[in-house]
């Protein structure tokens, strides 16, 4: 839990977190005050460690009569990650609570401050323990509470920020849980169940429609169904719709949140999430090692569901938001799509499938074509763990963004930078479309040169968006963390994109 109140400095408690930085730590009167209370231990540690208050520098001392421990930490650009890192230190100390005081360098945007504190604390406590034994789970120590104090009364915006950060954290955790589930437990039917659970919790603002194989066939989704045909699990084409609250004339305007009042500038936005619940590569079979994490190939769809979970709990979004999830498995059987087969997409375009492991773009082709034809949104944003080539270009931390509208792409990048989600624009370089020309169909699903794979994948999807403003996010790297913990990012699913997209929507 997170608590906040007015209190003198220093208060008493379990573990004090003292944030500082290069510019303030030498002349910080509060730090000097704590140092006197702990009998000079802080001064000694500063000398021993050559501490300069730089980003992520830290040390711990015993807290004397006021705290059990004092953690002195050099805060970086991201308060969210700094809180996550001190929370990790506190867990090793078996702390029960963190005590944090407001400092002027934290800024005057109290809503954002509350939001970042909630995100840092709640997301750093996230863990996926569903399949661990009870004894193993008991061994894992969590810091239960964070207390935030200020010598002045905190404005109501701080509390609103904390609550919003908690709602965002819940949506991110839902996405992480889905991505971390094994494919035996997270499949098209499970994704349908998640969508309906969100619908049920939304108090009527969200509705869900699910198209089965026959219905998709009637619509002409041969590209998506081609990916699904090798699996015994039935494909599920999931469509979600969030309808903002529109005021009834008899309602009292003063009692309604400003954000949900009818806004004539509201847009219709469609989020499309790649939802391959397991990707074997099909007959173009992946190596065994590459399949170990392919349960995460539905991270785009899980991200969309995480966003809808947030939409179900908030009245902050005035736009009409749609979600499209072409959920299926890419498996091997006698029914599997073969290299050299031709499929026909919803928009009538024929595709020569030369590599069945380039399946995400096949499913997305029908998804974006469906969105454009039947939803007719102002914007389409697709999220997909699409290409290893994007990871070669940008590494594991950075999303590649492509788009056909410069203003939309620029705005998305600005929001991502503000939210601390790393992103880099890559070009929709039209001359590379020549590599996708097929001798026997309208287009083929791979370029065949071995180069520019992320661009080729984006160009392919773009061939199925003819009218809409469209953004493609290749989240192959940052959607899943196989390495060490990095701030609020633990091992496994990350929920990348939720913060940026919710910032755009609100």
Range in 30-44, 259-273, 346-360, 410-424 with the lowest mean pLDDT = 259-273
Q: How far apart are the first and last CA of the chain?
A: 25
Q: What is the largest CA-CA distance in the chain?
A: 81
Whether the CB-CB separation of 19 and 75 falls below 8 Å is answered with yes
Point out the catalytic residue in the list 261, 286, 486, 491: 286
Question: Residue 256: pLDDT above 80?
Answer: no
Judgement on whether residues 36 and 105 belong to the same structural domain of the protein: yes
Judgement on whether residues 199 and 234 belong to the same structural domain of the protein: yes
**CA 259 to chain CA mean position, Å:** 23
Question: Residue 368: pLDDT above 60?
Answer: yes
Judgement on whether residues 138 and 218 belong to the same structural domain of the protein: no
Question: Residue 111: pLDDT above 90?
Answer: yes
Which string of DSSP letters, residue by residue, matches 231-252?
Answer: -SSPPEEEEEEE------TTS-
User: Which of 224, 443, 240 is closest to 326 using CA atoms?
Assistant: 224
Last residue of a domain, one of 147, 162, 177: 162
Q: Which range marks the domain in which residue 38 is found?
A: 2-162
Judgement on whether residues 135 and 192 belong to the same structural domain of the protein: no
pLDDT tens for residues 16-48? 999 998 888 888 899 999 999 999 999 999 999
Question: Residue 261: pLDDT above 60?
Answer: no
Question: Residue 50: pLDDT above 80?
Answer: yes
| pLDDT on residue 265 | 77
Judgement on whether residues 84 and 212 belong to the same structural domain of the protein: no
DSSP SS3 for 446: coil
Report yes or no on 385 lying in a domain: yes
Angle at the Cα of 380 (from 379 to 381), degrees rounded to 5?
A: 120
Last residue of a domain, one of 129, 162, 195: 162
For residue 203, give the DSSP letter: T
pTM of structure: 0.94
| pLDDT on residue 135 | 83
CATH number at residue 41: 3.40.220.10
pLDDT tens for residues 376-415? 999 999 999 999 999 999 999 999 999 999 999 999 999 9
Judgement on whether residues 302 and 218 belong to the same structural domain of the protein: yes
Mean pLDDT score of the chain: 94
| pLDDT on residue 254 | 42
CATH number at residue 312: 3.40.630.10
| pLDDT on residue 259 | 40
The residue-averaged pLDDT of 454-475 equals 97
Whether the CB-CB separation of 31 and 20 falls below 8 Å is answered with yes
Question: Residue 202: pLDDT above 80?
Answer: yes
Whether the CB-CB separation of 72 and 110 falls below 8 Å is answered with no
Report yes or no on 27 lying in a domain: yes
Tally of structural domains, the chain = 2
255 is catalytic: no
Point out the catalytic residue in the list 274, 361, 415, 469: 361
Which string of DSSP letters, residue by residue, matches 320-361?
Answer: EEEEEEEEEEE--STTS--TTEEEE-TTS-EEEES-TT--HH
Judgement on whether residues 195 and 138 belong to the same structural domain of the protein: no
Judgement on whether residues 420 and 489 belong to the same structural domain of the protein: yes
Q: How far is 437 from 434, CA to CA, in rounded Å?
A: 5
The residue-averaged pLDDT of 293-302 equals 98
The residue-averaged pLDDT of 71-90 equals 94
233 is catalytic: no
Share of the chain above pLDDT 70, in %: 96
| pLDDT on residue 263 | 56
Judgement on whether residues 110 and 217 belong to the same structural domain of the protein: no
pLDDT tens for residues 153-163? 999 999 999 99
User: Which of 174, 193, 186 is closest to 298 using CA atoms?
Assistant: 186
């Amino acid at each position: 839990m997170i608590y906040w109140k007015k209190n003198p400095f220093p208060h008493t408690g379990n573990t004090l977190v003292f944030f500082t930085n290069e510019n303030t730590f030498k002349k910080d009167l509060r730090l000097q005050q704590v140092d006197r209370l702990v009998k000079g231990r802080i001064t000694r540690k500063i000398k021993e460690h050559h501490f300069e208050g730089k980003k992520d520098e830290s040390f711990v001392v015993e807290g004397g009569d006021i705290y059990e421990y004092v953690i002195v930490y050099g805060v970086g650009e991201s308060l969210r990650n700094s809180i996550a890192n001190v929370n990790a230190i506190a867990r090793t100390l078996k702390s029960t609570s963190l005590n944090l005081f407001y400092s002027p360098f934290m800024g005057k945007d109290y809503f954002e401050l509350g939001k970042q504190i909630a995100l840092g604390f709640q997301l750093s406590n996230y863990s996926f323990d569903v399949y661990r034994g009870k004894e193993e789970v008991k061994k894992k120590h969590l810091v239960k509470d964070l207390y935030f104090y200020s010598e002045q009364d905190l404005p109501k915006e701080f509390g609103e920020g904390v609550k919003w950060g908690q709602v965002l954290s819940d949506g991110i955790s839902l996405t992480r849980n889905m991505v971390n589930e094994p494919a035996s437990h997270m499949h098209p039917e499970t994704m349908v169940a998640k969508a309906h659970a969100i619908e049920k919790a939304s108090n009527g603002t969200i509705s869900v429609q699910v198209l089965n194989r026959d219905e998709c066939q009637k619509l002409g989704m041969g590209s998506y169904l081609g990916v699904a045909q090798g699996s015994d699990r039935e494909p599920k084409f999931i469509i979600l719709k969030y309808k903002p609250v529109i005021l009834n004339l008899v309602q009292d305007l003063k009692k309604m949140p400003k954000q949900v009042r009818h806004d004539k500038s509201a847009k219709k936005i469609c989020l499309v999430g790649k939802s391959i619940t397991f990707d074997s590569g099909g007959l173009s079979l992946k190596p065994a090692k590459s399949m170990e994490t392919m349960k995460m190939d539905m991270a785009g769809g899980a991200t969309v569901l995480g966003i809808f979970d947030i939409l179900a709990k908030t009245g902050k979004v005035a736009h009409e938001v749609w979600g499209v999830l072409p959920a299926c498995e890419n498996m091997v059987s006698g029914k599997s799509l073969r290299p050299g087969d031709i499929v026909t997409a919803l928009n009538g375009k024929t595709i020569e499938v030369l590599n069945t492991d380039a399946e995400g773009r096949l499913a997305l082709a029908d998804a974006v074509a469906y969105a454009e034809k039947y939803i007719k949104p102002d914007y389409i944003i697709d999220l997909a763990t699409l290409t290893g080539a994007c990871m070669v270009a940008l590494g594991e931390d950075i999303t590649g963004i492509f788009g056909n509208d410069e203003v939309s792409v620029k705005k998305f990048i600005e929001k991502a930078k503000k939210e601390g989600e790393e992103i880099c624009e890559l070009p929709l370089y039209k001359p590379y479309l020549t590599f996708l020309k097929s001798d026997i169909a309208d287009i083929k699903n791979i370029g065949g040169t071995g180069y520019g794979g992320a661009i080729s994948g984006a160009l392919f999807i773009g061939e199925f968006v003819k009218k809409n403003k469209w953004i493609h996010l290749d989240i192959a790297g940052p959607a899943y963390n196989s390495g060490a913990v990095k701030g609020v990012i633990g091992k496994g699913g990350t929920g990348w994109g939720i913060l940026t997209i919710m910032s755009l929507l609100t």
